[in-house]
Chain A
């Protein structure tokens, strides 16, 4: 299962850059899709992963963040309507051993939240007792490897107005990530600032 995803990454055109203590890799797939990933050099944690797909009508799409913070300034006039900054903000931020989601701006106590697995849709569901927040989301990494979600792998915590939902990464995911890291190490990365301009 893992092989298919690895093959897809291998078939893509890749560019690698080391900058600000991060390994930044850009993939362009044959169908025009783009993937950008950033890994922390110290512990190989995935910091950012985002996708850009072609629109149905053509034209260049928008970046869609899968992992990492995308709360960059949104232009109100361009977007038409933007969620107010006091709303809960949903961000995925993995550690090496866990998938992790942080929802900021949630002041309610831990007892207010209920996180469950929806097997049919392969999604995690966050509910609130006071009906203020609700979120369904999948784990794309698990979908790519066709692994099922298990309720007992979920743990939640609450501190500093933030709800933290963690899901233990299964062995298959850990193995694949390790082999990916090994591949990335082999890639020739250009350092920040000096662009290789040797005439060949």
Chain B
């Protein structure tokens, strides 16, 4: 494999001559364009040691009180069956706070994030989906012996079939000071090796059971190759002895994973059982007692995690009563819910309730509220997002965008960043300025202008008459 340009140069195939189109394909193959999620800039809750929130830190801006409350919740993670509701208007950073909590917990604490509507699946029951989500959020730290392969990469060769489509074929040659072995690679392994950007001269360990690849560093014998070195490149000795070793490792698995290992029906019996993804309650009970046994023997340790349910008002009354009950077990994780609704109907009933959550469940919750952002906070968030999306923006443009954010919504103004950047690049500019913002503001409607537009031109849209009759029908029902 050739070298990967750092940072990834992103080229638009559309604006290129046809002859260079092939080359672009190649570039894209080597470094995939990193996609950026809406909350990718969040690195933690931005609290200091005394749990006081800093105004701007770790990607978080404002919402000082809500963030401080979230920090307190993290401290009480050891106690089972605690639940928190984050309530606030759309675009006030509810999900951001939950993500920040996940980041602050670290990678060893299980954090499961689901949306309320996710549990309505035809594959499995609502309560089964919720139980699985609960069990995914409880970790068990346990010692296990696994087989690992540890060695220096001599050669890595990944071939695409001549037709251009179909499965890739890969070979990996590893060595230690004593021996050398060639491995054939499966699809998944090829993918993860490419993702980790493993190349000749790297020292890697591969966990055979999970397929997890860890780069330990570069080999000392390659210390003279200055070409592909970042500032954090670490040099390590080539491993000794056999390539395959048995090692005792401590790792965290979730209760759900243990459930699955023990419930998988073997061989032809799986044909009859019909693998619907549901796990029998007997299996779960068995596992619970087994885990309790391990804990008493000192073999395992329970790591309580966090379950985050976004858009919790989408759950129905059955789910809420299930949650009530589930929170009482000693195996319950911390439950964080978020909603943007006020007083509304509880799904599955005719009753109105605050946040669409029944009063008895609300009574068990600690409620944290988020408030709309102020102007300077919006400006700060937009600035952070510009950095995250690699967009250069002039101060004037940022001020205009902030105003747009104040008048419409934070989300709309964040969307405009990328759009404005594209417009700016088309005119071969390096910095997004006020004109670019104006341009995209006129190109894309925000929610209120779109509503306005519909009000004006409603008559000319299709099925307009039908819409009116539906309105009438609705009035008859309610």
Contacts and interface: CB of A to CB of B under 8 A. Distances in A.
A60 B184 contact: no
B180 A80 contact: no
B178 A87 contact: no
Interface string A71-95: 0000011111111101100000000
Contacts of B261: 55, 57-59
A81 B206 contact: yes
Which residue, of A76, A87, A128, A131, has the highest number of chain B Cβ atoms within 10 A? A76
A127 interface: yes
A129 B367 CA distance: 70
B144 A132 contact: no
Interface string B318-338: 000000000000000000000
B178 A127 contact: yes
Contact of A56 (B144, B176, B206): B144
Contacts of B171: 84
A132 B262 contact: no
B237 to A, nearest CB: 15
Interface residues of A, number: 25
Interface residues of B, number: 36
Interface string A110-153: 00000000000000000110011111100000000000000000
Q: Name the prevailing secondary structure of the B interface residues.
A: mixed
Nearest to A87: B181
Interface stretch (B55-63, B71-79, B186-194, B398-406): B186-194
Interface in A144-198: none
B264 A82 contact: no
Contacts of B143: 56
B241 A134 contact: yes
B179 A128 contact: yes
B242 A136 contact: yes
B347 to A, nearest CB: 37
A55 B184 CA distance: 26
Given A57-B261, A81-B206, A134 B242 contact: yes
Given A59-B261, A131-B178, A81 B142 contact: no
Contact of B176 (A60, A77, A86, A134): A134
A77 B187 contact: yes
Most-contacted residue by chain B among A55, A58, A86, A133 (CB, 10 A): A58
A76 B261 CA distance: 21
B180 A81 contact: no
B184 A82 contact: yes
Contact of A132 (B172, B180, B241, B266): B180
Given A80-B211, A132-B179, A57 B186 contact: no
A130 to B, nearest CB: 9
B186 A80 contact: yes
B422 interface: no
Contacts of B182: 83-84, 86-87
B215 to A, nearest CB: 16
A60 B263 CA distance: 10
Given A81-B172, A134-B178, A136-B241, A57 B262 contact: yes
Interface string B46-86: 00000000000000000000000000000000000000000
A83 B179 CA distance: 13
A57 B180 contact: no
Interface of A: 55-60, 76-84, 86-87, 127-128, 131-136
17 contacts: A56-B143, A57-B142, A57-B257, A57-B258, A57-B261, A78-B186, A80-B208, A81-B172, A81-B183, A81-B184, A81-B186, A81-B189, A84-B183, A87-B182, A127-B178, A131-B179, A131-B180
